[in-house]
Amino acid sequence: MNNLSESIKMASIYTASDKIVARMIEDELLIVPIEEGIADFDDALYSLNNTGQAIWKLLEQKKSVTAICMDLAQEYDQTVEAIEKDVIDLLNKLLNMGIIVEDKSII
Amino acid sequence: MRELRLSSRNLHLLMGSVLDHKLVQKMRIKASGYSMSPFIRNGQIITIKPIVNKKILFGDIVVAVIQKKREKILVHRVIGKKNKQYLLKGDNLDTDDGWHHEKQIFALIDLAKDKKYRAFQNIQNALIALGSKTGMLNKILLPVSRFIWKRMYHE
C-alpha cells in the first residue's frame, strides 16, 4: 500500500489507518487493506497472532511505542529490551503496509 | 502476521464488515467451484459490489449466505423473483438452490469490465437466467456454443 520505507518513532502514537478494515473473528484479528475503494481478499488478507493482537489493543488505547513496550514487558514478565525488537518489527511492517499511520493529532 | 483462508461463516462476517466501510466500493475475491462455469470459473478473481437500494435484478449474480448443515456462501444467479424472495441457481447445475429472502443476499458480482457495458451485461444476465431456469442453457445453448467454438477455432 505504501512504497516509502518508513521507520516508527518510539515517542510517537500510531493508529489504525482509515484505509483498512480490522475485525476480530473467532480469536483472530483480521485485517483487510482498502486500496482505491477496493478491498482485495485475494491479494491481501492478514491475521495478527496473539502478540500482534496485544500490540493492536494497546495501539487502540492511543499509547506511544515506548508505552506499548513497557506495558508488554510488564504483562509478559520480560525486559523492555527483549520486547522492543518484536514490537518495532511488527509496527514497521504495519506502517510500511499502510495498515497503521502516525497519529499526529495527539502531541 | 500471515495470510490466511477463511471458513464460509468467517468470510461472511468479514465481508459484511468490509462492505459497511465507507471507503469500500468493491471487493475482489477468488471464486472456487464450478457451479457457475463457464461464466465464473474456478479460481477466477471476481469483483463484488454492495447492493444499492436493495436493487437486485433478474439475472444478477449474487453473493448469498445459506444455512444447510453449516453456513455456506453461494455465488449464484437470480432466476426468479417474488416479493422479497429470490430463486437462485448455479448456471452449471441442474437444480436450483430454492427461494431465499433478500436478507440472505448481501452483495452482487460485477462482471462488466467497463461501465458502458453494464446495460448490455444486464440484458445478457437476464437471457442467461432465462436459459438457466428453463434448463436450456446446460442442455442446448452451452453445448452448441462449445461445438461452434471448437469448429471455428480448433479445426
The interface predicted TM-score (ipTM) is 0.71
Asked if residue B68 lies in contact with residue B9, where contact means CB atoms within 8 angstroms, the answer is: no
d(CA B90, CA A62): 48
Q: Is the pLDDT of residue A2 over 60?
A: no
Q: What is the pTM of this model?
A: 0.77
Cα dist from B97 to A99, B16, B79, whole Å: 39, 22, 10
CB contact under 8 A, A42 and B14: no
Residue B150 is predicted with a pLDDT of: 81
Asked if residue A90 lies in contact with residue A1, where contact means CB atoms within 8 angstroms, the answer is: no
Which member of B2, B17, B23 has the closest CB to residue A18? B23
Type of residue numbered B143: P
A104 — pLDDT class (breaks 50, 70, 90) = confident
* Strand, coil or helix: B120: helix
The DSSP symbol for B138 reads I
Provide the strand spans (E) within B9-153: 26-30, 45-49, 61-67, 71-82, 85-89, 98-101, 105-109
Encode pLDDT of B37-49 as tens digits.
888 999 999 999 9
Asked if residue B28 lies in contact with residue A40, where contact means CB atoms within 8 angstroms, the answer is: yes
B17 contacts in chain A (CB < 8 Å): 21, 23
Residues of chain B with pLDDT under 70: 1-5, 113-117, 154-155
CB of A98 within 8 Å of any CB in chain B? Answer: no
Residue A60 is predicted with a pLDDT of: 95
Q: What are phi and psi of B108, to 5 degrees?
A: -120, 155
Which member of A21, A38, A42 has the closest CB to residue B26? A38
| Residue A3: count of CB within 10 angstroms of its CB | 6
Q: All 3 cell numbers of residue A57? A: 489493543
d(CA B34, CA B40): 8
Residue A71 is predicted with a pLDDT of: 96
Q: B 85-144 residues with CB below 8 A of A? A: none
d(CA B29, CA B13): 15
Site from A17, A19, A41, A92 to mutate, B interface, most B CB atoms within 10 angstroms: A41
Encode pLDDT of A26-83 as tens digits.
888 999 989 888 898 877 788 898 889 999 999 999 999 999 999 999 999 999 999 9
Q: All 3 cell numbers of residue A103? A: 497519529
* Strand, coil or helix: A72: helix
CB contact under 8 A, B1 and A49: yes
Rounded to 5°, the CA angle B136-B142-B147 comes to 130
